[in-house]
Copies of this chain bind each other. A is one copy, B any other.
């Protein structure tokens, strides 16, 4: 159901990542507001939003002429789940790093 490569692809564009982060922080926002923090044209933003819609990262809602966008938490959670699935891997390395730090400390 959650197509991880497509989600990663959607998040791989700096403009789109910024949009997603902004929406996670501030909740639902209209296109005009999202446009403020990047230099690019309205049509470009529109297409980026479309990519995010297609991958299920955001949803759209109409209010008058505005279109309000917000993040779909479940899709973000898919990314989180992926990292947790491999937690044992990067956690092990954390332990090693920590051990290294302790060694360093006791040496001084």
**Are the CB atoms of B24 and A13 closer together than 8 Å?**
no
Which residues in A have some Cβ–Cβ distance to B below 8 Å?
A: 4-6, 8-9, 11-14, 17, 21, 24, 71, 73-74, 76-77, 79-80, 82-84, 86-87, 89-90, 92-94
Q: How many copies of this protein are present in the complex? A: 2
Provide the residues of chain B in CB contact with A6, threshold 8 Å: 12
Name A's interface SS.
Answer: helix
- A79 adjacent to B79 (CB under 8 Å): yes
Q: A17-B4, A17-B8, A79-B79 are in contact. Are A73 and B87 (CB under 8 A)?
A: no
Indicate if the CB atoms of B76 and A83 lie closer than 8 Å: yes
Q: Is the CB of B24 within 8 A of A86?
A: yes
A51 to B84, CA, bound (A): 24
A86 — which chain B residues lie within 8 A by C-beta?
21, 24, 76
27 cross-chain CB contacts under 8 A: A4-B11, A4-B17, A5-B11, A5-B12, A5-B13, A5-B14, A6-B12, A8-B8, A8-B17, A9-B12, A12-B12, A24-B89, A73-B89, A73-B90, A73-B94, A74-B90, A76-B86, A76-B89, A77-B93, A77-B94, A79-B79, A79-B82, A79-B83, A80-B83, A80-B84, A80-B90, A83-B83
